[in-house]
């Protein structure tokens, strides 16, 4: 059974020169890195005005990152794996246990 969800791949030239897929992959990596960096900047902002400026930029960067991902998925250069019900249940149970532990730790403090 195929658990992959994808679109037909858009063909790109197989040369040593960068093609559309290479450019988009590079852009996506940069945007993902920027999202992480701005997440840190948000947590370390020294005042509300700075935080709000960072937050506006963060929102814009995440939107651009998502647009690039959507384009790559549409062109078949990104695929998803359909999770089995068992995997989803296992993950849900793990997260529920972690949440319970956090609540217990919070009540102790």
pTM over 0.85: no
Candidates 81, 69, 66, 72; CA nearest to 9 is 72
Q: Residue 90 has what pLDDT?
A: 95
Q: Residue 4 has what pLDDT?
A: 85
What stretches in the chain show pLDDT beneath 50?
none
Q: Residue 83 has what pLDDT?
A: 85
In which domain, by residue range, is 101 found?
17-108
Q: Is 80 helix (H, G, I), strand (E, B) or coil?
A: strand
CB of 2 closer than 8 Å to CB of 84: no
Q: Residue 80 has what pLDDT?
A: 87
Structural domain tally of the chain?
1
Residue 10 lies in a domain: no
Q: Residue 82 has what pLDDT?
A: 86
CA distance 103 to 99: 6
Residue 3 lies in a domain: no
Q: Residue 74 has what pLDDT?
A: 96
Q: Residue 106 has what pLDDT?
A: 84
Give kind and range of the element (H or E) at residue 5: strand 4-5
The H-assigned helical ranges of 1-109 are 20-44, 48-74, 85-108
């Amino acid at each position: 059974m195929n658990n992959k969800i994808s679109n037909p791949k858009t063909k790109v030239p197989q040369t040593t020169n960068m093609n559309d897929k290479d450019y988009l992959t590079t852009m996506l990596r940069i945007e993902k890195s920027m999202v992480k960096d701005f997440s840190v900047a948000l947590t370390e902002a020294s005042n509300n005005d700075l935080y709000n400026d960072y937050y506006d930029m963060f929102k814009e960067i995440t939107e651009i990152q998502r647009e690039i991902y959507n384009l790559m998925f549409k062109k078949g250069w990104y695929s998803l794996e359909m999770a089995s019900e068992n995997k989803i249940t296992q993950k849900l149970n793990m997260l529920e246990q972690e949440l319970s532990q956090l609540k217990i730790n919070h009540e102790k403090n």
